[in-house]
Structure 1
Amino acid sequence: MRLTCPNCGERDLREFTYRGAALDRPEGAWSPAWDAYLHQRDNPAGASREHWWHGFGCSAFLVVERDTRTHDILSVSLASGGRQ
C-alpha cells in the first residue's frame, strides 16, 4: 500500500505509522460523549477516517480516508496542527 503525503508525494506505507481512528473530539466537560470517545471503537467494513503519522518523512500528521475492505485510499489531507 502507498500513501500520498501532501508534503512529500507518494511514499511507501513503511514510512508511516497508524495512529488510530480519526474521531471528532467532544467539547466541554465530561459527558457520555467523552466516555464513547475514549473507550468505544467501531470496526467498520468500508470507508473509514484514520490518523497516520509520516514519521520517516516530513513528520506530518495526516487524516487518511480509506476503504478497509480493499485498502483503496480515498483521500489524504493534513490533520489540523500538522507540520506543513
Structure 2
Amino acid sequence: MRITCPYCGERDRREFYYRGAAVDLDRPAPDAGPEAWDDFVYLRDNPAGETRDLWYHEGGCGAWIVVTRNTLTHEISATEPASGGKR
C-alpha cells in the first residue's frame, strides 16, 4: 500500500505508523470505573468500507495525517494533515 504524505509525497506504507480511527472518542471520567475504561480502550467499531484513520509519518517528516481509505479494497481516496496544515 502506498500513502501520499501531504509534505513528502507518495511513500511506502512501512514509513507510517497506524494510530487508529480519526474520530473524537468520548473519554470516560477518571473515576468512571473499570468497565467504562475497558470499553474505551478495547471496544472500537470495525466498519467495512470507507474510514478516516490517523497515521504518523514515522519514517519520514514526522507529520500526523488523516487517511481516508476503503477497508475492503485498501484504496486511498484522500490524505490530509491532521492538524489543518501544521506540523
TM range (shorter): 0.7 to 0.9
| Counterparts of 2:54 and 2:85, CA distance in 1 | 11
Structure 2 residue runs without a partner (length 5+): none
Q: 1:81 to 1:51 in 2, by over 3 A?
A: same
What is the CA RMSD across the aligned residues, in angstroms? Answer: 2.4
Task: Report the identity percentage.
Answer: 52
What aligned pairs does 1:1-84 form with structure 2 within 5 A after superposition? 1-26=1-26, 30=29, 38-80=41-83, 84=87
Residue identity matched to 1:53? Y
Q: What TM-score does the superposition give when structure 1 sets the normalisation length?
A: 0.79
Aligned residue pair count: 81
Q: What TM-score does the superposition give when structure 2 sets the normalisation length?
A: 0.77
| Counterparts of 1:2 and 1:26, CA distance in 2 | 31
Structure 1 residue runs without a partner (length 5+): none
